[in-house]
Structure 1
Amino acid sequence: MPYLNLRGVEHYYEWMKKPSGVAKPIMVFIHGWAGSARYWRSTAESLLDQFDCLLYDLRGFGRSCGKPTISQVGEAVAESKSTSAQAEALAELSYELTEYAEDLLVLLDELELQQVYINAHSMGASIATLFFNRYPQRVKKGILTCSGVFEYDEQAFAAFHKFGGYVVKFRPRWLVKIPLADQMFMARFLHRSIPKSERIAFLQDFIDADYDTALGTIFTSVSKAQAEVMPQEFAKLTVPTLLVSGEYDKIIPAQLGSQAAKLNDKVEFALIPNTAHFPMLEDPDSYLQRVQEFLRVEGVR
């Protein structure tokens, strides 16, 4: 399996391509919290006539679960000829979403990709939004699937963090073998059914996620700071962006996506009926039709 050392951490990545006589643009896929690139494969497969697709696992999730060690950090610094200030930054990698945006920049640099399309989901969509504003020259067009802006509620956030801590702590490896565990685990995320193999893969990714990362990103992605920052980030987007929401999404309700899109005329909003937090899996035909319409505006065939 292919890996790249990004800022001291081994990151899993994979290419999906269909042979063609012409060069194709590249679409990068970013997954959400406690997931992996696996759930993007069917979407990427459907776009291979138009794109070469790059999928990768975020630091601490999927097959990128290694943590940076002092020796790895030293090697990464030596290879990149970093300054002492950069070395300190490497040694102090945090779970802030801006750090994950920097990981993406290094990935593109390592693979010598100058400009790409990006399709990102849930927490990954927040990372992508931050990336769009920091490095707009690197993004041709963006798709944010199940994203939005939310207001800070101290009691609700505290309750969410407490519950999230319990969920992350109680993840016995035998859970995946319990009958119907996959259905119960995915019930809150779905409105329509998806294949059992997909549900099991989601549960396995959740079980395999690094503890510190899973917990740390709960606190950084659902926080007072994030609630204050994200409306500003959406408002200043210059990258043409499609924001897709599932009609019955309980994790990031469609209303929050609509509110985010209204902050900027560069953001186009699309609602996929009768889906929840994974519209690309629950109704792939409707999802892909909307994505294709958005891409065709720029002449991608």
Structure 2
Amino acid sequence: MISRLSVDLQCLSYDLRGFGESQLVFKSHVHQATPVLTPLSSEIQESRSTGDSQYSPLAYAQDLGILLQQMNISSAWLIGHSLGGTIALWAASQLPEVIQGVICINSGGGIYLKEAFEQFRTAGQKFLQVRPRWLSQVPLIDLLFTRASVARPLERYWARQRVIDFVVADPEAALGTLLDSTTEEEVNRLPQLVSQIKQPVYFLAGADDKVMEPKYVRHLASFHRLFQYIGDNVIEIPDCGHLAMLEQPDTVAELIRSIVIGH
């Protein structure tokens, strides 16, 4: 996305707490010569002290607030994929003066189906327990990841990256994120959150997404004022699964560009 969008838009991507390279700063043996985070606003400090998990979507949104503060970014659009979309929505609600709008990709929900979520959480925990470091060295393992959750096979480069990201994620963060983002309270809170966001919010859905089906994307989108105001704030991409930005990068980049520049 960045290679396509950076022609006329400034772009920034970052690793969430506990994932990619961001997990390193939370290890006790890492020497920090200087503080890397600026003080939080009183509102963020208060919500931090209410007992919220450090791996909830709200906690991740607060991390993003710190990052934007540290980088002196006072105006930005957020693009979030799947859980990243939920985090972007929370950030928009927390930082209404900074976040100008949100584009959620393969992200929706807001309906808690008890049996389905319990099965998902159980399967996810078992899946996370089988993550040996040598997994990424297994010949052809990346071929499995070229077809997982997508409507059309990915290039092997991106499949290999999916394997690496899966293996190196901090165990506590991976489990915490899985559990904290799928609680009944968290899921049921999403529609109210979306309804209160004043900034524009758009949803890009994969027509063949089996992880986050378009009907669930449309359900969450319907709580935002744009759904009624312009008739629809959901754009469905044909022949597309759960990784729209990798399956159809040109289409997604053009949609993002037209939405952001249009505003």
Please, what TM-score do these two structures have when normalized by structure 2?
0.87
Give the 3 Å change call, closer, same or farther, for CA 216–186 of structure 1 in structure 2.
Answer: farther
Aligned with 1:54 (options 12, 20, 38): 12
2:61 corresponds to 1:101: yes
* Matched residue, 2:96: 136
Cα offsets for 1:59-84 (capped at 9, x unmatched): 000111132649989x759974999x
Q: What displacement does 1:255 show?
A: 1.1
Q: Which position in structure 1 is the counterpart of 2:221?
A: 261
Quickly say closer, same or farther: Cα 1:296–1:71, change in 2 above 3 A: closer
Residues 198 and 99 from structure 1, CA distance in 2 versus in 1: closer, same or farther, beyond 3 angstroms?
same
CA distance in 2, matches of 1:245, 1:49: 25
Counterparts in 2 of 1:265-276, with a 5 A limit? Answer: 265-266=225-226, 268-276=233-241
- Asked if 1 retains the 8 angstrom alpha-carbon contact of 2:201 and 2:224, the reply is no
Tell me, in whole angstroms, the C-alpha distance in 2 between the residues paired with 1:117 and 1:235.
Answer: 18
Q: AA paired with 2:83?
A: M
Q: Pick one of 64, 74, 79 that aligns with 2:22.
A: 64
From 175, 179, 182, give the equivalent of 1:219.
Answer: 179
> Which of 82, 98, 114 lines up with 1:122 in the alignment?
82
* Conserved 8 A contact 2:146-2:155: no
Task: Write the distance in 2 (CA, Å) between the matches of 1:71 and 1:183.
Answer: 35
Task: State the one-letter code of the partner of 2:6.
Answer: L
Matches within 5 A, 1:199-218: 199-218=159-178
**Contact 2:92–2:99 (CA under 8 A) maintained in structure 1:** yes
Asked if 1:285 is matched to 2:246, the reply is no
The reply on whether 1:145 has 2:105 as its aligned counterpart is yes
> Residues 122-156 of structure 1: CA distance to partner in whole angstroms, max 9, x if unpaired?
11110110111111111122211111124222222
Query: Taking structure 1 as reference, are residues 92 and 272 closer, same or farther at Cα in structure 2, changes over 3 Å only?
Result: closer
User: Is contact 1:186-1:199 (8 Å) kept?
Assistant: yes
What root-mean-square deviation, in Å, do the aligned CA atoms of Structure 1 and Structure 2 show? Answer: 2.9
Is residue 108–residue 218 contact of structure 2 (8 Å, CA) maintained in 1? yes
Q: Given that residues 238 and 266 in structure 1 are in contact (C-alpha distance below 8 angstroms), is that contact kept between their aligned partners in structure 2? A: no
Name the CA distance, whole Å, in 2 between partners of 1:53 and 1:213. 26
SS in 2 for 1:296: helix
CA contact (8 A) 2:38 2:70 kept: no
Q: How many residues align?
A: 254
Aligned position for 1:30: none
Whether the aligned pair in 2 keeps the contact of 1:237 and 1:266 (CA below 8 Å) is no
Q: Which 5+ residue runs of structure 1 have no aligned equivalent?
A: 1-42
Q: Which aligned runs of 4 or more in structure 1 are off by greater than 3 angstroms?
A: 68-73, 75-83, 85-89
Task: State the match for 2:116 in structure 1.
Answer: 156
Distance 2:8 2:83 in 1: 26
Deviation at 1:245, TM superposition (A): 0.8
- Following superposition, the deviation at residue 295 of structure 1 comes to 2.5
- Please say if 1:176 is aligned against 2:141: no
Question: SS of the counterpart of 2:65?
Answer: helix
| Structure 1 residue 93: Cα displacement | 6.1
Identity %: 27
What secondary structure is seen at the aligned counterpart in 2 of 1:141?
Answer: strand
Output the CA distance in 2 between the equivalents of 1:180 and 1:255.
34
Q: Is the 8 A contact 1:239 1:266 kept in 2?
A: no
Query: TM-score under structure 1 normalisation?
Result: 0.76
Gaps of 5+ in 2: 228-232
